[in-house]
Amino acid sequence: MSMTEFQQNCYNIVTDSNLSPKQKSSLLALAAENNLPYVDLDNETQQALSERVICDMYEGHAPYKPRYVLPDYPKFLKQGSKWLELEPAKTFADALNMLTIIYHHVPSVTGMPVYLGCLDQILLPYVGNLTEDEIYEQLKHFWIMLDRNFPDAFMHANIGPTDNIIGRVILRIDRELKQVAPNLTFIYDEMITSESLLLVAIENICETSKPHIANNNMIQKDFDEKGYGVVSCYNSLPVAGGGSTLSRINLKEVALHSQNIEDFLTNILPYYCQLQLNLIKARSAFLYEQSNFFNSSFLVTEGLIDSDRFAPMFGIFAMAEAVNILQEKSNLTGRYGKDEDANELALTISKQLAEFIDNYEIKHAWKGKAMLHAQSGISSDRGATPGLRIPYGHEPDPVTHIMALFKHHQYFTSGISDILTIDETIKSNPSALLQICKAAFKLGFREFTANISGNDLIRVTGYMVRLSDIAKYKKEGSRINTTFLGAEAADDTENNSYLCRKSRVISHEQIMGNR
């Protein structure tokens, strides 16, 4: 019997030997959504989307839930939930149980929660008379549950900036278990965080490539008193809200459409920025005005999220390729990440993108604006470096790396992350990595992330994979959803494979430490 293209796609999913029944169910749901008509777009925007100069991140043809949702978990524990038939938490066990329940009901683009909350701050009020050993035992069971029930590396927990027993126990457990999920961000504040706690986080990075470290002094200035959370890979978004949608511009393609630097900055980039804005508006309008999510979700009716606190994310990637192409078209020899003229061109582009966003009011957006985002790539990208990163295999020493990029971080309010790949000899001198991190923050880094060579657990674009899982994937599949993405990204034979990263020995830590 002949099948339609849609039926063949569904048939391929249900007969895939590497997918679990739950993974098949999720993919079938996405296939059904993508069989619907796309949200209404004008012809020029549709053409740019079809050519993938702009990209909708494959969120689905008819968005019926926000991309990223950041509930107010402290409020949930304090008030309970009528819809979930839960009384307010009274004990530590109550709090863990209630979080376990609500996580199953928090939507996202992945179908799983991408934000678990700032867990130490959430759980501290419920510690009571528990000893450290008792906290450790309960949290370890909780941490294992998260990985097994939500096997997706985009699920993200935060801790910090205060030094407290919950944060230290979570770091201890994460280092012991070396799980892919959850991803983890340590929020660091030089006025609040003890250096001894920062060193523990750094020592964890040496063993697990986690956590991210977020510069609270810088990030909090872009948010209000309700605060922010770091979600998914490294996206900073308003708590009690989130990210409604994420679209991105392939700057490499924009550069290829341009005659030279002047044409790029004056004509071609503004044109595609406007088309991306059109895409964001169309997708946001469907989510807010047709999907009924904000009219029906208990997260809204019980005050755990506010529809006015969701921001569309205006993403960009392939800055490195764009700059190098424009340099060549203008008969200039400088290259991105290495030469001052190329780096200055990149900074001009970032500044122009930020100014474009600031000049446009958007309906259905927190503060009426989109948020600029250095998008970290997807597994199917080829020949395009994530965000503003220096191409894999061409990274300079850590000091030069940081100096080439720090000026950009002020513009990317919903997240920018580079990954420093450090030689495993750092394990014998973690204080050197600590000094590099503190100096990067002092210069203006928004977030600090490092992979350590030789570790099984590594970071791809922002999410975690185990190299041992990648090696087995094609024969055995994986219970962890994001293993497939890591395997696909590793297969890139051009410059996008994370396996091509050059590990570097930190040799200038004293220079950085004195800045």
At 485 the pLDDT is: 61
How far is Cα of residue 190 from the mean position of the Cα atoms in its chain?
23
Beta strands in 341-408 (DSSP E): 371-374
Q: Which of 480, 479, 425 is nearest to 453 (CA)?
A: 425
* pLDDT for position 513: 38
Q: Which residues of the chain have pLDDT under 50?
A: 493, 495, 498, 504-515
Tokens of 489: 């990204």
What are the tokens at 149?
């029930």
Residues 6 or more apart whose CB falls under 8 angstroms from that of 285 comprise: 39, 363, 364
* pLDDT score for 506: 47
Please give the pLDDT value at position 156.
Answer: 95
Both tokens of residue 487? 């395997």
The pLDDT, as a whole number, for residue 511 is 34
Q: What is the pLDDT of residue 514?
A: 34
The token pair at 52 is: 């993938």
Written as six digits, the tokens of 324 are 């190098």
Q: What is the pLDDT of residue 472?
A: 66
Which tokens belong to 61? 């043809």
Q: Which pLDDT score, from 0 to 100, does residue 451 have? A: 86
Helices (H), ranges, 297-339: 298-301, 319-329
Q: How far apart are CA 228 and CA 235, in angstroms?
A: 10
Instruction: Give the pLDDT score at 512.
Output: 38
- pTM attached to this predicted model: 0.91
- Do residues 370 and 277 touch, judged by C-beta distance below 8 A? yes
Q: What is the pLDDT of residue 509?
A: 37
What residues form DSSP beta bridges with 157?
184
